[in-house]
Amino acid sequence: MKGLGSAYSVSFWFCNDRPNNVAPVTGYLFSRGPDAAQGAPGDHLGIGGTHMDHLGRLLFYNGNALGQVLVGRTIVRPGTWNHVVLVREGQKVQVYLNGQLDFAGEVDVSPAAASEELFLGGRNDNFANFSGRIDEAAVYDRALSPEEIRRLHATALNPPASAGTSNTSTQ
């Protein structure tokens, strides 16, 4: 994505269809880095699996060369819809799950993280692709504030009447 700098945010809904205990990484949801690059340089957001016992927790990884991982607290259960926002601002990383901060920390920035190539539902080296559904994706060229993220999540749960949708169903 042209013009995306070192501060950016990515927001989307996802529903994981894969059990969390069958692979080292359940699946990568988002990646920023050169396509097919060896060693997965860049920024990567995924759902942990059996490797290092991160079962079902969101994780942020900055590639094989740097090898730093940040891991969330909340277990994401397969078959549930969840809203995630990744905020990257230089070395700072924050990940919000369903409107709440799930984890934050600092990791080194790979030069490949400046890539204009973005991937939804997979990692740039095609490892541990996501199995499930992704919806309502948006990329921002800045770090969203916690209040903006809470509003974004709340609006998605309860769209304004003028949007022509209803959050009720009849069966």
- DSSP code per residue over 2-42: TT--SEEEEEEEEEE-S-TTSSSEEEEEEEES-TT-TT--S
pLDDT confidence of residue 156: 81
Answer whether residue 170 shows pLDDT above 60: no
Task: Give the model's confidence band at 166: pLDDT under 50 very low, under 70 low, under 90 confident, else very high.
Answer: very low
Which run of H or of E encompasses 139?
Answer: strand 132-140
- The model's pLDDT over 102-160, given as tens digits with 9 standing for 90+, comes to 999 999 998 888 889 999 999 999 999 999 999 999 999 999 999 999 999 998 887 66
User: Looking at residue 113, what is its pLDDT?
Assistant: 82
Enumerate the H helices of 61-160 as residue ranges. 146-157
How far is residue 21's CA from residue 110's CA, in Å, rounded to a whole number? Answer: 29
Give the residue extent of every domain in the chain.
Answer: 7-156
- pLDDT at residue 157, rounded to an integer: 81
Mean predicted confidence (pLDDT) in 83-106: 97
pLDDT of 20-63, one tens digit each? 999 999 999 999 999 999 999 999 999 999 999 899 999 999 99
CA-to-CA dists, residue 39 to 59, 109, 127, 162, angstroms: 17, 15, 10, 46
Least confident piece of the model among 27-31, 74-78, 167-171: 167-171
Average pLDDT of the segment spanning 72-96? 97
CATH number of 7-156: 2.60.120.200
Q: Any idea which residue has 């003028």 for tokens?
A: 162
CA pair distance 62, 31, nearest whole angstrom: 10
Interatomic CA distance for residues 93 and 143, integer angstroms: 10
Q: Is the pLDDT of residue 67 over 50?
A: yes
- The predicted model scores a pTM of 0.90
The per-residue pLDDT for 171 is 36
State the pLDDT at residue 158. 76
Residue 168 scores a pLDDT above 90: no
Walk across the sheet containing 69-75 and list its strands.
69-75, 57-61, 43-48, 25-32, 118-120
